[in-house]
Amino acid sequence: MIFDVEFLTKIQEAIERKDKEFFLKRLRGRKRESRNFKIYSALLASAHNAKHLNKIDEVESDAIILNLEDGVAKEFKEIALLSAALFLQEAPSNSPLLVVRVNPLEEGGAEEIAFLNRFSPDAIRVPKIKTPKEVEIALSLVDENIFLHLSIETKEAFLNLEKLKVDGRVDKFYLGILDLLADLKIPQKVLRISNPTIDYILSRFLIVSSALDSQAISFVFQDYKNLEEFEEWCRYELEMGIEAKACITPAQVEIVNRIFKSFDIERARYIKEQFEKMQQKGITGFSDEKYGFIDEPIYKDALNILNKLSS
């Protein structure tokens, strides 16, 4: 927990009465180096829910998305921004990756970014992006040590996906599948496992993101109580090659970590063991019946995964 129960109650009460002064007299800013690493699970938390934000140093998710956009009513957006800033300021350095999802640039997002720069989130996530020019504008607003994540949820963004990585700081794409389907005027009933339309969207999203060296993070599964189907989706997406998924509950995070992260770690340990065994024989490239061709770059990737686990 970041704050004790007594002060947490005061924060939530200040949010509910929209008491900006409560936050402003406590905000001083915080400058730190932004972190960037591969993630498996990304948990969304509404920035006007103090109880949820107070646990960002305890959850098992690799990233926490402090959400100012969907799910935050218009009248609470300003106070949610101040709340997000306070928790960013006080979050310990060993917290998960801290990402703020702002509103669209033309709907207050630009001003939110300018304010949040003082508090050094690891990344800013911008929704409703359509063109490379908009990405350039977003980058010009974000401090140079902060990464930029993009929500791919408009038909223009999907068509322009190959062009959206205008800078190395644009390193993660999130698929907003429901918004994308609505923008394409495709009925949401197609959102089911093994549907060819969804397979195409997921495949293109993954392949283009990977080719750009930006991590592809799959869509939120809204029926949060249906953990059985959520797990089916995770296993299905893992088979496709997807390695990360957005979540809306800790229970979803547990499933994502168990399926995506455990598989990756098991594979990394196996590759490390096999490569080092063959290396002793002077062989640094070989065909493996379980994971195909293994050579030094694949070995180094396995080491990176294991080093992150132990850090």
Rounded to an integer, what distance in angstroms lies between the CA atom of residue 137 and that of residue 108? 14
- Give bridge partners of residue 173 from the DSSP assignment: 150, 216
Tokens read off for 43: 């948990």
10-residue mean pLDDT profile of the chain (311 residues): values are 94 97 96 88 96 91 96 95 97 94 97 97 97 98 97 98 97 97 97 98 97 96 97 96 95 94 83 94 91 91 75 49
Tokens read off for 237: 């997406």
User: Which residues, at least 6 apart from 10, have a Cβ–Cβ distance to it below 8 Å?
Assistant: 22
Rounded to an integer, what distance in angstroms lies between the CA atom of residue 152 and that of residue 235? 22
pLDDT at 308: 62
pLDDT at 290: 87
Q: How many CB atoms lie within 10 A of CB 161?
A: 20
CATH second-level architecture of 5-261? Answer: Alpha-Beta Barrel (3.20)
> Domain locations in the chain?
5-261
pLDDT at 305: 76
Q: Which residue has the tokens 């800790």?
A: 250
pTM (global) more than 0.75? yes
Rounded to an integer, what distance in angstroms lies between the CA atom of residue 174 and that of residue 52? 22
